[in-house]
């Protein structure tokens, strides 16, 4: 038991150092081949020297070696590309390999802690799998939050562009003004469009890449309208005003739908949390009666089936109460 506790503490410290190092170093540009070769030579020279480093320095050194191995040996397959696009959509400055390392360590840490507490391998594996999926759930939440913020700020961005066009600025100049004066996430997205145009892409290509990078219905409407306007001509400022009116009306209807479905969503949350609350109350009244579910094989099977049924019920309630506008 002591050995497992020491290993868990070591893994936890290593995971924290990996997270700090990943966040602080993810914004740096990749080094050139010559710089990498010099770094490898320096590392080999350090390895030949006697080891007089502390535990913190050794953990940092192991962290850097692990990151270098993952980044250099990782294959740029389709799955990694999709994960990198998801990380970019969520606004997280991480690489796909680093995110996978977080998932593995979440599995080990949470599973190890549950095993130390309950001393049951089956429950520890289930907890480890839940820990492995937790970063994915967090990533989805970050994506939804950032996309919601973008959709809320999009009408204000269009109003700024429309005013700039009426003042005599061109469309790229209006985008530059938005990139300088707006806030995140609109600022980063518009800056990315301008950067692609500076690297040689046309306005149409940059707008199409923007639409593919950010799955927003309002943005898709905007890009399609801009592309059609560039082909057939017309008053762009008037067109942007109509898009602003459309997006605001859609947002108004969406808020009304959320208000009407609030009771159903709240009922689903209460029904989903009711078994956990009832189990805690029964455990406080009669612990031996409740622990039979965790110790007996039939009780463990019933708990597993209850968790699966609860998840299915939550998904069904969410699908019923979630109406797209």
Q: Which residue has the higher pLDDT, 241 or 65?
A: 241
DSSP letters for 3-69 = HHHHHHHHHHHHHHHHHHHHHHHTTSPPPPHHHHHHHHHHHHHHHHS-----HHHHHHHHHHHHHHH
For the residues 252-258, what does the mean pLDDT come to?
86
**Residue 67: its pLDDT value, please?**
59
* 105 pLDDT more than 80: yes
- Looking up tokens 């969406």 gives 254
For the residues 294-299, what does the mean pLDDT come to?
86
> Can you read off the two tokens belonging to residue 69?
């191995």
**Residue 76: its pLDDT value, please?**
52
What Cα–Cα distance (Å) separates residue 113 from each residue in 8, 280, 290?
7, 20, 21
Give the range among 33-42, 205-214, 257-266 with minimum mean pLDDT.
33-42
**Residue 270: its pLDDT value, please?**
87
**Residue 81: its pLDDT value, please?**
82
> Can you read off the two tokens belonging to residue 15?
């995971």
What is the set of domains in the chain, with CATH numbers? 2-145 (no CATH), 146-250 (1.20.81), 261-321 (no CATH)
**Helix intervals (H) in 167-202:** 171-181, 186-198
What percentage of the chain exceeds 90 in pLDDT? 9
The chain-wide mean pLDDT, for the chain, equals: 78
**Residue 296: its pLDDT value, please?**
85
Query: Does the predicted TM-score (pTM) go above 0.85?
Result: no
Question: CA 260 to CA 14: how far, in whole Å?
Answer: 48
For the residues 203-219, what does the mean pLDDT come to?
88
Is residue 200 helix, strand or coil?
A: coil
Q: Is there a contact between 39 and 45 (Cβ–Cβ < 8 Å)?
A: no
């Amino acid at each position: 038991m002591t050995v497992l506790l020491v290993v868990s503490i070591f893994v936890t410290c290593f995971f924290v150092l990996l997270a700090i190092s990943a966040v602080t170093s993810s914004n740096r540009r990749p080094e050139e081949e010559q710089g990498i070769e010099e770094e490898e030579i320096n590392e080999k020279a350090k390895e030949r020297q006697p080891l007089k480093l502390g535990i913190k320095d050794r953990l940092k050194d192991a962290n850097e070696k692990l990151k270098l191995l993952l980044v250099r040996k990782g294959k740029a397959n389709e799955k990694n590309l999709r994960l990198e696009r998801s990380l970019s959509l969520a606004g997280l400055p991480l690489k796909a390999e680093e995110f996978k390392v977080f998932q593995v360590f979440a599995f080990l840490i949470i599973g190890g802690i549950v095993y130390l507490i309950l001393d049951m391998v089956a429950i520890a594996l289930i907890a480890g799998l839940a820990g492995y999926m937790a970063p994915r759930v967090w990533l989805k939440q970050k994506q939804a939050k950032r996309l919601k913020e973008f959709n809320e700020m999009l009408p204000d961005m269009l109003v700024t562009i429309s005013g700039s066009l009426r003042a005599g600025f061109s469309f790229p100049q209006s985008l530059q003004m938005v990139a300088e004066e707006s806030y995140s996430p609109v600022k980063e997205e518009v800056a990315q469009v301008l950067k692609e145009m500076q690297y040689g892409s046309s306005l149409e290509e940059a707008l199409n890449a923007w639409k593919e990078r950010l799955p927003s219905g309002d943005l898709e409407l905007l890009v399609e309208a801009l592309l059609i306007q560039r082909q057939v001509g017309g008053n762009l400022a008037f067109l942007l005003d109509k898009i602003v009116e459309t997006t605001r009306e859609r947002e108004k209807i969406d808020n009304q739908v959320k208000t009407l479905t609030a009771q159903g969503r709240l009922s689903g949350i209460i029904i989903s949390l009711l078994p956990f609350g009832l189990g805690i109350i029964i455990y406080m009244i009669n612990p031996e009666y409740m622990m039979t579910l965790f110790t007996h094989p039939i009780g463990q099977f019933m708990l597993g089936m209850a968790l699966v049924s609860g998840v299915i019920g939550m998904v069904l309630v969410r699908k019923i109460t979630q109406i797209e506008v």
